Structure formats: structure tokens, C-alpha cells
Structure 1
Amino acid sequence: MTATKLRAVRGGAGDTTAAESARVQDNLYLSVNGEWAKTAEIPADRPRTGGFSDLDEGVEKQMLADFAGFRAHPETIKNPLLSEAVKLNELALDFQKRDADGVKPAATILAQVKSIKSWADFNQQLSQLILNGIVKPFTLDVQPDMKNTAVNLLYIDVPGLILPDKTYYAADNENGKQLLAVWTQMAEAVLQKFAYSAAEATKLVDQAKQFDALIVPLVKNSEELADYTKQYNPYTFADFLKLAPEVDFATAIPAVLGETPEKVVVTQPHYFENLSQLVTAANFPFYQSWLLVNELLGTTGFLTEELRQLGGTYGRAIGGQKEAPTQEKHAYRLANGYFDDVVGQYYGEHYFGDAARQDVAKMVKTMINVYKNRLAKNNWLSQATKDKAILKLNMIEIKVGYPDKLQPVYQQLKVTPATEGGDLLNNLLALDKVLRLNNFAKVKKPVDRSRWAMPGNLVNACYDPSFNDITFPAAILQAPFYSLEQSSSQNYGGIGAVIAHEISHAFDNNGAKFDEKGNMTNWWTKEDYSAFEKRTQAMIKEFDGIPYAGAKVNGKLVISENVADGGGLSCALSAAKEEADLDLQAFFINWAMVWRLKATKAFNQLLLSIDVHAPGPLRANVQAQNMDEFYEAFNVTGKDGMWLAPADRVNIW
């Protein structure tokens, strides 16, 4: 659930078709980024470049060098938790051992999968399947109760699909057909590396696709999931058990949690109301093959180099990457993935520092005050709603840079090196189990509001409505977003707009349904919310159907991020105008530079289907068109391409 609720600033792909620069009056984005786009090259192991991605690469390059130093001189590591991350990094880099071990490390997984020969076996082993992370036709996660965020609840969700989104399965979606063909070929080849014959592999993969096809009509697509408040469907545990009596949730869930829950949250009731259609004797062979294929594909990145390359084929096809990451990047990303806050804390302490953290925290407070002043002057909200909104702003928790204190679970993450008989795959399985048990244990504990949603070395930012907190990792706090060497207008066009963007998520179409404590409750008057919805509909209409990368923008999919972009840009403008060195042109130029992105065709198509952010060039241009100050800054008139009639400009916050 958390992943769907975090409203991050990042997203959108760059305009890969840009071949010419343009007058700013005709196209702000191309005037700033057109020349860059002519020569910018997308790295072979990435789907995009520019903006966020450039900073990502810079952070990763620095951390690769640091990890190489740690491997050479482990005595320089001051934090024992970071030592465990370096151990994992070393284990992942030992391809001589990985190649020598072959597929032997997967023997335990294969044995468990092969022991499931019927739904009766499935039910008998269900609690262990859950604890071991074996794929099932459902997933479990413990997160705060969206209506009472002081306590945690068990959320029961649907399984993932083979293709990126339900829409890819449409009969007229050629991209979906091509991707499924790539997945099929890859899966069959992987199974043959595990000693299945070509005929066996073909049959198993075909049956796995048949089970996947049974799931497709029962789940939501990305547009439907974008309204994440609709994923909150509480059931008493007794009522939930009635939905799919064929699955022994009654025994397995209490065994996993250590108690019988009174209430659970079902994210997609339609799926679970029809789960009995999947759990039949006739469908068991399809599930059995789906289970086997998914489990084996899930091991490929942690076995031999040949399997790492082969098992990544489909993932690269989705994004259009030409190459797999180098072995060194692969090993770093694995270590960073499991020890993200540990690595992020190290990065923040060494490359950001407390002085910069305090400076940015001050900027956040400044932007919150700007927002409060704008709300006070708002002419379409009642005083009662404005008072509630200001209370929510006063209660926002600000997290900048990196956490001072790490979560206790990191103390439990221990890596067994090769010298002690450890192999990469089984180390990862053990780490996964620790994390899984830690998650399930939260159901008995109060919600920990000190947790960080993002590590310090991530180039991003986010707002979480259930915590009413904003996180700005250290890695995003650098040029072009923020620099002491940039003018105040440039900084406000960069990090200022990002900060206000995240604040705006407290009042987007989803965040507006949560109060100052993060509880999903209605704090609006009926008239005020109706006025708000009218404005969000105008923004849906403004973006919906805009041609981009051979397809069209889905206005409903991207509405929450567009509301945040508009509010963020507008509030950042207000702050910039209070500075003595105001330069509106510099403000908008830096805003456009932030969204500089160039992406593969496949990645553009993917984002248009599943990403809740509008494409980068449109974020730069359309939101600028909504600001009266943009026309003033560049003398834009009705004869220019960037002109938007005043009556058509959409402003919510």
C-alpha cells in the first residue's frame, strides 16, 4: 500500500522527438532543452537520461567508488551496519563463485515448489509459503489503518501480472503482444537452464500464461488504482474468510501474525470475491506452472552471469534498455536495496551535512507559510475548510536529508560470506524473511511515525498522506534543484517548486481526503469539496488526450501529480516574488530544466500507461502556461505557441 500512497515528485519521460530548439514564447521546454536533446545519449543500461536521471547517475558513480574503497579497506567502515551492506556487495560481485555454483543455490526453492501438488498441499503449507515469500494468488502487507493511523492493519492485495498493466492485455495493444512474446521466449530459455526440456518448458510457460490470463479480468488497471483511497475496503476477518473459503486464510494468517486479526483491509474486493474461480482443481496445473515459472525467474538475478543476463531480458524490453547493468552496478544496487537507509545515512552524512539540512528545512517551513498565506486569501473556500487546511499544514512533519536513527530491523540483517559457506541467493532469501517477519510483527505495534519513506541517497521527494509527512532525501538537494551558487529565483524554480509540490499533495484529489493526523476523513464542507472537484476536472480536461510519444495522455491517471505540480509552481512563484533579486525568466528556465528528460520509445509508452506523472515536457510547458507570470516574464501574446487564454488557465492552489 505504501508504494501506491507515496506521492512522489518524480516521473515523466523526456521528449525524445525534440530535434530543434524553439523560442521560449512557442515552447518553453524546447527553448531550454532542445539543444541538449540533440546530443544527449541515453545510457545503454538505463531507459532515460536528463534531470533526475543525471543526478541518479552521479550519486551512483560516487557510491560505486566508495564501495570499492570499502571492499579494499574494510577497516575504514565506521558503521557495522554498513559493513553488512559491503559484505552483500562483495558476495554479489563474486561471479566466479556464482558461476561455479550454477543453479544449485535454488534447490531449496525448487523443493518447496515441487512439494505443492494440489490445493490441499497449498493450504497445508500456506503459512510457510507466506513466510518464505513463495508466490501466491494474493499478497500480504502490514500498513497503517487509513482511518486510524495510530494502529497497523493487514492489507490483502492482488498478485502481479506478467505485463506492466491490465491495459497491455487489450486485443489492440501491439506493445503488449510483443512484450508477452519476449517474456515467453525468456521464460522458456530460463527453464531449460534448470534442466527442463524444451517441450517441458513450453508447456509450463504456456500454463503459467493461462493462470495469468485468469487474473487479468479480475484486477484494476493503473488509472483505477490512481485513486488509492478506493483500496481501503475494511472487512472483519470473519467476513473476509467467507470470500474465498477454498483458501485456508483462517489458519495461515493467524499463524503468520501470531494472532487472529479482528479486521483486515482488502484492496480489490472484486478479485477476492472471485478468487474461488481461480482456486479450482481444473486450474491447479496452471497455478502450479505459474508458481514454478515465477519462482525460477525470481532467482535469475542472483545466480550465474548467464542467468542474470537472460533473466533480465524482459525487464530491459519493458524500458527499452540495450544492456544489463554492469556487474559492479548490479552488486551495488543489490546492497543498496537491502540496506537503503544505512547507505542513505552514510551518503547524507558525507555529502550533504547538517548545515545544508537545516537550510533546506528552513526553506520547507517558508513554503508552508507561503501556502498558509495563500489559503488565508483563498476566495473559493469557506473559513471552516481553510482553518482545517491550515491546521493540516501546521501538523506536517518535515524530514530532510537522511534519518539520524535507523530502524531496529537493520540490526537483524546479517550476511553470511562465502568463506563461511554463504551464497548470494540464500543470503537474500534469509534477508527477505527477516524483513517479512518484521513487517508482520508491526500488526501488534503502534505505528512508527519516525520511519523514513525514502533513503538519503535517492533522487526524489515524497508526501505520505497517512503520515502527513514530507521527505526530501539529501540526493535531490543539489543543482539544478538547489545550490548556494544559484540565484533565489533559480532555487525556487527548482527545489522551491518541488517542496511546494509535495505540500500540495496534502490537498490533491487523494491527499485532500486525509486530515492533519493522516486519517482518511472528510474535513471539507460539501460546497467546498464540490468547488474543488470542479477545478480538478478542469485540470483533467486540460491534460487529457494531449498527443505524446505516439500515444495520448490519460488525464485521470495523472491528475494527482498535476494538481501538485500546479500548486507547487504557483506557491514557489509567490515565494520567489518576495525576494529582492526576483528574476522570473530564471525561475521558469530552471523549472523547465528540472524536467529535462530523454527516454526510449518503450519507456515513454510504459509511463503513459502506468505513471501517475505527466510526461516531463508537458509538466514544464502546461503548468507554466497556467501561470500569469510566465506571460509577463517572456512577453507571450496570443500570436505565440505558449499562449493559453486566461479563461483556460487552470489554477487550484
Structure 2
Amino acid sequence: MRINRFASDAPSADDFPVDESLLTKDFYDAVNGKWAAQATIPGDHASTGGFMDLADNIEHTLMHDFSDLLAGKLTPANPEMAEFKKLYGMTSDFAQREATGTAPLKPWLAKIEALKDFDDLSTHLAEWHRLGLPVPIGVGVEPDMKDTSQYALYVDAPDLFLPDKTYYSKDNPAAKQLMPIFTQTATKLLEMLGYDSAKAAEIVEQAKAFDAQIAPHVKSSEEAADYVKIYNPRKLADVDAKVNALDLTAAITDLLHDTPETVILPQPKFFDAVNDILTPANFDAVKSWMLVNTAFDATGLLTEEYRQVGGTYSRALSGKKEARSQEKAAYYLAMGSFSQVVGDYYGRKYFGEAAKQDVHDMVVKMAGVYQNRLKTNDWLSQSTREKAVVKLQKLTIKVGYPDKIDPLYAKFKVDTSKSLFDNLQGFSEIVLADHFAHWGKPVDRDKWEMSANTVNAYYSPTNNEIVFPAAILQKPFYSLEQSSSANYGGIGAVIAHEISHAFDNNGAQFDEFGNLNNWWTDADLSHFQDLAKSMINEFDGIDFAGQKVNGKLTVSENIADAGGLSCALEAAKSEDDVDLRAFFINWGNVWRMKATTEYMQLLLSIDVHAPAKLRANVQLKNLADFYSTFNVQPGDDMYLAPADRVKIW
């Protein structure tokens, strides 16, 4: 495996010994406490630690390489990379961006200002979807959850200004802190775009009023975490009849060149209330909402001052002390448009085919361990067990990077005679045209949802596939320098975690083809739901960062963590050089994280993952081998009575 040439300046967990006195009291602190005491969160970060350190290393490496690319020292590997070079040159030309100023955005604001009423908006609705302008009803073409070989049209509510609908409750203190910052940020952006202070303030207040009307009728993060309840098919004619203000059928027909009989409503309650929201009296508020969203959408695309001001609200959300440097911002802006092109470069140069095959073999082995566990499961009936094994055998495995760059990127042509904003707007329109062109075509299962330089992994229930980008496949998760047990405690647990998502509370309701389909017996499903409730209870209400963990919000990831860790443990024990101490220590290492209080509290509200420290600690308490390895006894803080331990897979 190729190793990044640049290391982070942040202290590594390897530099600090385990605190033996804490192993039975707080395992996470035993492994990571001395590291955390020395670790410093960079000013432009909300956190530092395992995942973020890898991302920083990759950022450093690629920014160095692409500096050589701009200087002509590195030759583009393909035409797509040549276009990336041109865009990176534009994002890095700060003098030209200052000279251009905010002018490129003003024609788009004028389009919104010119709207007379809802009839006028309805006439332009399809066009505005193609342009990516904010509209009060969203539409998207995604795989049909009941038949994932074909696409369906999803019709949805708009996003909120605050992170979650729970922030809109009267007793939520975070909203009282955040909404004034949002207000100040939005008002300042509008002033920078030429509005006088009184008009800017009026627009922001109207936008907030419309946003507040939406909030009661959309789902919270907890509600949205239940995938099955996303699937609410309705006749298009019936949905359109609920929306007096807009002609949805005409707009959809214009977009798709077809008129679907049925659409999917992820948030049907919004459409029950939509006629009370999209009223003639509310039209000015809707226009103001569009203006504010458009102003925020341009953050990072115009001048440096606009970028700094536009990021104020998001930094308040996360607790970041400062914005990224201009150089980093330029890199991420260019990389964001050519993500799979950059990923292809990273994967081929710093990962390669040999490592790709090595990790693929490891995934296959982990799937084999998982299959044996399913076959010997003591609570599933034979029929359910057989179908679970079939689903596992049909699992698609993607490792490292795609075999070829998505053809969409060949359509991106940079025109240096135009502004950076206009180039990126053109790219957005190409992406949206491609998105709506999926309608009526079979689903492309070869696409990757993450680029190879992304430090993450995922399971797709609708594709029944697990994907491991190259970026995560390095130390501490995976290294040829680590013992097999350490690797199983790192990447092995991640691999098995993603496999486990096929059998978590969401994934278990999709079959081997990725279709929403109950393949369980009633008794098995009932028992599984009881086990899921036990996992909810194990995490629910734990105090963290001045708030409490939501067990329902995090249950799917907690089930996957539990299954992944136990499966990886079994695989580690099958090796001749098994070292369970190394296995558990590296499990603790990969979750090391130091974050701002604001960021931790934000994640508690919206993230389906439990806090990293709890992911490390709580799952260990469910495993008998953890107790024997570290001599954990009743009365120790890391002890959990056998009757209270949760085991699902």
C-alpha cells in the first residue's frame, strides 16, 4: 500500500502509551486520554483525531501535488484532470475573483425579484429546478425503493435554516443562540449584494417567517432515520391537488418529458399543510426565502469577504474559530466539482491495484465470517436465516476507487473567459440535467457515492453494496505494518460494520436486490425489533457534552457497530497470531476524537452515529472477550452485567 508522503502535525495516538490504570474504568480515555491532552483542534476545524487526521494528511498531499499540476511540473493524467487544472487555476486566482466581485450573482437575484406571484413562479418552476434555484417544493429522481432497478420521482419539502426541526421548539436554547447569528449573517450578505440595510433586514425577517412555517410539518433527524417511512407513494394527481399555488404536474412533465402516475413523498405531512403555507399573502415571504437561500448558496464562489461573512453561521454551528485559508478553500472548491476525477488520481497513485485486491480479499473473508455467524445464529428461523445468507451472498463489494471515471465529468469544460461563478453554475446545470435524464432508464449500479479520497465507507440498502474508498484504508484502520489483530480491530470492524448495515433496523427490511421487501417471518422480525429496542435503551439518555444521546436516532449505527465489532473479533481469533489486546486497543484508537462543544452538541441532534467515545466504550461492554482480556470485574465502570449485554449479530 502506498503511504501519504506528508504526516499531520497533530500528535498521533502511537506517540502516547495506554494508561493501564484506566482500562477498566474508561477504556476510551485509557487509550486516547494522553493523546487528547496534547491534541489541539486547528482553528478551521470542529474536531481533530482519527478520521480527521487522515483527511488532513490527504488534503496536504493532494494540495502539494496539485500545486505541481498548476506549475506544470505534473502532467494531467486525462482530459478530465486537464479541466480540473483549469478550474483550480480559477479558484486560486484571488485577484481576479476580487475584481469580478459579487456581480455574477446579481442577475440571479433579479430573476427572483422579478417574480410577481405564484402563477409566475409556477410558469418557471421546471426551469428553476434545472438551474438549481431554491424552490419551496423539491423534486428528485432516485431508485424506487420497491423496485430499485428503476427510478422513481421523489417530491419533498424544503430544508430548514436551523439544523433540525427540534431547534424550533420554544425551550431549545441552541436556537436562541444560533438564529441571531443566522440573521446577522444573512443580512450582511444581502447588504454586500447591494441591498440597503433596511431592505436586507426586511427580507431576512420574511425569510425566517416562512422557514418557521415549514418547520412543524417536516421530519426531525430521528424521524428521517427510519428509511422505510420515507417510502410514501401517492398519485401525482392527488399530490398536485394538494398544492393550489403551483402546477406540479406541468413542471414535472417539463422536467422529465413524461408524466409519472405515482410519486414518492418522504414527508407527506408537509403536503397536508402546504396550502396553508403557500398562500398569496405569503408570496413575498417565499421570495425572501429564495433570496436568502441564493445568497448563502454563493458562499465561497465570489470574493474573500463574501466567503468569510457567508461562513459565519456554519462556523457558529460547529464551533470553528476561523474559516479555511484561501488556499484550502480554493482546493476544496475545485475538488468539489471534480471529486471523482481527484479520487481517481488519488486512488491510482496512493493506493493502487495491489492494495485494492488485498483489501477486497479481506472484505470477502469478513463476509465469509459473517455468513458462518448467520448460519449458526440461534434465534433466526431457518427460512429467515437462509434468506439472510442469500442477501449476504448477493452483496456487491467496491474497494479503493471505480474502474473508470464517471462519463459525466467529460462534459465539464472550463471557460476561462467567464467568471468562476458562471463556470460553476454551468457545471451545476450539467449535473442537474444528468440527474433528471435518469428518468425512464435502468438504475446505474456502478456509480460510487463517495470519491476515493474520502475518509469514510458506506452501505447502500437500495444497491445492497458496501463501498470502501481508498482514503480510509490506511493506518490506524489498516496497515501492513500492524498486526492482523490490530487490522481487524480497525478496518476489519469497519468492514463488518458496513456488512452489518444490511441487517440493521433499516437494512434488514431490504432484500438481496435492494428492494424494500419484508423477508422475515413475523416471529423473527418481532424478536429482532425487541433486540433493536435493547440497543436503543443501551445508548438512550447517556449524558454527553451537556446533552443526552438519542438512542432511536443512533440505533442503526449502533447495531452495525455491535455486529461489526463482534464479527471482526471472531475473524481476529481465527488467526494464528491473535492478540486480543491489540485488537481492542486499535478499536479504541480509530475512534479518537477531540471536538468543540458546539460540534458535539450539533451531532447529538442530527447525526445517526453515537459520539465517538461512546462508540468505543459501550460496545466493548457487550463482549465477553473484552472482560477476560482486561480482567474487568463487577464494580468496574466498564463492567456490564451479562443480562444487560446486547447481542444481535
TM category (shorter chain) comes to over 0.9
- What pairs with 1:169-184 in structure 2 (closer than 5 Å)? 169-184=168-183
Question: Which of 418, 422, 432 is the equivalent residue of 1:422?
Answer: 418
1:540 equivalent to 2:542? Answer no
Counterparts of 1:370-385 in structure 2, within 5 Å, are 370-385=369-384
How far has the Cα of 1:282 moved from its partner? 0.7
Q: Which amino acid aligns with 2:449?
A: A
Tell me the equivalent position of 2:114.
115
Partner of 1:364: 363
Q: Aligned residue pairs: how many?
A: 633
Partner of 2:7: none
Corresponding residue of 2:8: none
Tell me how far apart the structure 1 counterparts of residues 296 and 615 of structure 2 sit (CA, whole Å).
Answer: 37
For residues 207-231 of structure 1, what are the alpha-carbon distances to aligned partners after superposition, in whole Å with 9 as ceiling and x for unaligned?
1100101101111111101102111
What's the CA shift string for 1:577-634, capped at 9, x where partnerless?
Answer: 0001111111000000000001001100000000000000100000011111000100
Secondary structure class of the residue paired with 1:150: strand
Contact 1:636/1:642, CA 8 A, preserved across alignment: yes
Counting only pairs closer than 5 Å after superposition, residues 416-455 of structure 1 correspond to structure 2 as 416-417=415-416, 421-455=417-451
Write the letter of the residue equivalent to 2:191: Q
Aligned 1:599-618 pairs, distance under 5 A: 599-618=595-614
- Name the amino acid aligned to 1:604: M
Distance 2:333 2:138 in 1: 23
Task: Please say if 1:410 is aligned against 2:409.
Answer: yes
Letter in 2 for 1:278: I
Which of 589, 594, 600 pairs up with 1:593? 589
Distance in 2, Cα, partners of 1:21 & 1:409: 53
Counterpart check, 1:79 vs 2:75:
no
Q: Deviations over 1:326-381 (max 9, x none)?
A: 11111111122111111111100000010000000000000111011011111100
Task: Say which is worse superposed, 460-469 or 326-335, in terms of deviation.
Answer: 326-335
Q: CA deviation at 1:243?
A: 2.1
Identity %: 53
Partner of 2:492: 496
Residue 182 of structure 1 aligns to a residue whose secondary structure is helix
* 1:440 Cα offset (Å): 0.3
Q: What is the SS of the residue equivalent to 1:283?
A: helix
**SS of match in other structure, 1:130:** helix
Give the secondary-structure state (helix, strand or coil) at the position aligned to 2:397: strand
Which amino acid is the alignment partner of residue 412 of structure 1? K
Shift of 1:246: 2.1
Equivalent pair of 1:22/1:30 in contact (CA under 8 Å): no
Distance 2:38 2:73 in 1: 41
The answer to whether structure 1 residue 27 and structure 2 residue 26 are counterparts is yes
Cα distance between partner residues in 1 of 2:137 and 2:249: 15
d(CA) in 2 for partners of 1:89 and 1:159?
32
Letter in 2 for 1:624: L
Distance 1:330 1:134 in 2: 23
The answer to whether the Cα contact below 8 Å between 1:22 and 1:34 also exists between their aligned partners in 2 is no
Aligned counterpart, 1:6: none
Q: Deviations over 1:115-138 (max 9, x none)?
A: 212112111111111111111112
Report the Cα distance in structure 1 between the residues aligned to 2:422 and 2:159, rounded to whole angstroms. 23
TM-score (norm 1): 0.96
Q: Paired residue for 2:185?
A: 186
Structure 2 unpaired stretches of 5+: 1-12, 14-18
Contact 1:70-1:76 at 8 Å conserved across structures: yes
Q: Return 545-554 or 163-172, whichever deviates more.
A: 163-172
Letter in 2 for 1:607: L
1:570 Cα deviation after fit: 0.3
Quote the Cα distance in structure 2 between the aligned partners of 1:454 and 1:195.
Answer: 38
Q: State the distance in 1 between where 2:497 and 2:467 align.
A: 12
CA drift of 1:21 comes to 8.6
Aligned to 1:311: 310
1:486 has 2:485 as partner = no
Distance 2:589 2:35 in 1: 10
Partner letter of residue 133 of structure 2?
A: I
Contact 2:106 2:193 in 1 (8 A): no
3-state DSSP of counterpart to 1:478: coil
Cα distance in 2 for partners of 1:219, 1:293 equals 20
- What is the alpha-carbon distance in structure 1 between the residues aligned to residue 431 and residue 195 of structure 2? 32
8 Å Cα contact 1:149/1:517 also seen in 2: yes
Over aligned residue pairs, what C-alpha RMSD do you find? 1.3
Determine the C-alpha separation between the residues in 2 that align with 1:75 and 1:32. 41
Instruction: Give, as a single letter, the amino acid of the residue that structure 2 aligns with 1:627.
Output: L
| Cα separation, 2, equivalents of 1:22 and 1:191 | 56
CA distance in 2, matches of 1:23, 1:246: 62
**In the alignment, does 2:637 pair up with 1:641?**
yes
Post-superposition shift, 1:264? 1.4
Cα offset, 1:74, TM superposition: 6.9
CA contact (8 A) 2:101 2:303 kept: yes
| Structure 1 residues 410-429: Cα deviation after superposition (integer angstroms, max 9, x where no partner) | 11111112xxx211111111
By how many angstroms is 1:107 displaced? 2.6
Q: Secondary structure at the match of 2:151?
A: strand
Shift of 1:297: 2.1
Query: The residue matched to 2:141 in structure 1 has which SS?
Result: strand
Per-residue displacement from partner, 1:52-74 (whole Å, max 9, x unpaired)?
01001001111111111110017
2:65 and 2:74 in contact (8 A); partners too:
no
Query: 2 CA distance for matches of 1:288 and 1:23?
Result: 57
Q: Shift of the alpha carbon at 1:646?
A: 0.7
Asked whether the 8 Å contact 1:92–1:424 carries over to 2, the reply is yes
Amino acid at match of 1:72: A
* AA matched with 1:566: A
Deviation at 1:470, TM superposition (A): 0.4
Equivalent position amino acid for 1:489 in 2: S
More RCO (CA 8 Å, sep 6+): 1
2 CA distance for matches of 1:499 and 1:75?
35
Q: CA deviation at 1:465?
A: 0.3
Matching of residue 284 in structure 1 with residue 280 in structure 2: no
Residues 516-545 of structure 1: per-residue CA shift (max 9 Å, x gap): 000000100000001101100001000000
Distance 2:515 2:129 in 1: 29
1:337-356 equivalent positions in 2, closer than 5 A: 337-356=336-355
* 1:379-429 alpha-carbon deviations (Å, 9 max, x no partner): 100000000000000000000000011222111111112xxx211111111
Please identify runs of 4+ aligned residues in structure 1 that moved more than 3 A.
none
Contact 2:384 2:524 in 1 (8 A): yes
Partner of 1:150: 149
Q: Is the 8 A contact 1:400 1:471 kept in 2?
A: yes
Partner of 1:529: 525
Contact preservation (8 Å) 1:21, 1:30:
no
The residue type equivalent to 2:287 in the other structure is Q
CA distance in 2, matches of 1:75, 1:346: 12
Partner of 2:47: 48
> Offset of 1:111 from its aligned partner?
2.2
Separation in structure 1 between the aligned mates of residue 452 and residue 422 of structure 2, nearest angstrom: 28
**Structure 2 SS opposite 1:355:** helix
Contact 2:460/2:466 (<8 A) preserved: yes
Q: Please, what TM-score do these two structures have when normalized by structure 2?
A: 0.96
State the AA in 1 paired with 2:455. Answer: V
Deviations 1:146-183 (A, max 9, x none): 00011011111211111011111111111111111001
**C-alpha separation between the residues in 1 aligned to 2:299 and 2:355?**
41
Q: CA deviation at 1:298?
A: 1.6
- 1-structure distance, mates of 2:357, 2:272: 50
Amino acid at match of 1:614: A
Q: Distance in 1 between matches of 2:475 and 2:394?
A: 29
Where 1:155 maps in the other structure, the secondary structure is strand
Q: Distance in 1 between matches of 2:49 and 2:140?
A: 34
Structure 1 residue 22: Cα displacement: 5.1
Is the partner of 2:96 in helix, strand or coil?
helix
What is the distance in 1 between the residues matched to 2:204 and 2:624? 56
405-414 or 147-156, which deviates more: 405-414
Distance between the aligned counterparts of 1:458 and 1:347, measured in 2?
10
Contact in 1 for aligned 2:476/2:590 (Cα 8 Å): yes
Q: Deviations over 1:415-474 (max 9, x none)?
A: 112xxx211111111100000010000012100011112110000000000000000000
Range that drifts further, 372-381 or 187-196: 187-196
1:243-322 maps to which residues of 2 (within 5 A)? Answer: 243-322=242-321
Moved more, 317-326 or 232-241: 232-241
**2-structure distance, mates of 1:386, 1:542:** 26
Q: Which moved more, 1:492-501 or 1:269-278?
A: 269-278
Kindly state the Cα deviation for residue 249 of structure 1 after the two structures are TM-superposed: 0.7
Letter in 2 for 1:573: L
